[in-house]
Amino acid sequence: MENKVEKTDLLKTVFEWVELVAFSVACVIIVLNCFARYSPVDGDSMNQTLINGDVLILSNLFYEPDVGDIVVFANERTTYKKPYVKRVIATEGQHLVIDREAKTVTVDGEVSECEEFAFYDPTKQIVDIYWPDIDITVPEGHIFVMGDNRYNSTDSRMIGCVDTRDIIGKVVFRLLPFESMGKVK
């Protein structure tokens, strides 16, 4: 009789663990499909903020782009078919000016607050493709994005403003590498 009770208790414990694991997996799947996604960083365009190979957690739930956000978006207008990771420099209706000679980015007449994140390699020469003179007002439903590594980034300077419908999500957390895990600024 005692043996039967022990088997029943063991079976009950195993069933509870299987149920807990199944419920946990289901919750993770729902969260990753509905509320958050993950994306790896591919390339050096966001150096020093993000490094090639970092794994990011994104959120698109009730998201409206804001200046300074780091976003991941798809862009079918280029040959590069992987998602882009860039910083929002200006949103719809904002007036953006890039002065090639002065190497300045201004939004609505003031130096962009995102310039504090910009990485400039002093060994690189200014190339027209990376520093074209731009004077635009960002169209409705679009954002202007740039990589923090200004000399090594395919961004709105080349591909134009990004349609907000192409945004996959805002970067909210760096998952990998473990030593850099945490909130992303």
Rounded to whole angstroms, the Cα distance separating 141 from 1 reads: 72
**Whether the Cβ atoms of residue 61 and residue 32 lie closer than 8 Å to each other:** no
Give the burial string for 126-165 (b: 16+ CB within 10 Å, else e).
eeeebbeeeeeebeeebbbbbbbbbbbbbbbbeeebbebe
Rounded to whole angstroms, the Cα distance separating 67 from 50 reads: 17
Taking alpha carbons only, the member of 183, 132, 175 closest to residue 153 is 132
Rounded to whole angstroms, the Cα distance separating 78 from 120 reads: 25
Rounded to whole angstroms, the Cα distance separating 57 from 169 reads: 9
Taking alpha carbons only, the member of 153, 115, 161, 110 closest to residue 134 is 161
Active site residues: 45, 86
Instruction: Determine the residue type at 39.
Output: S
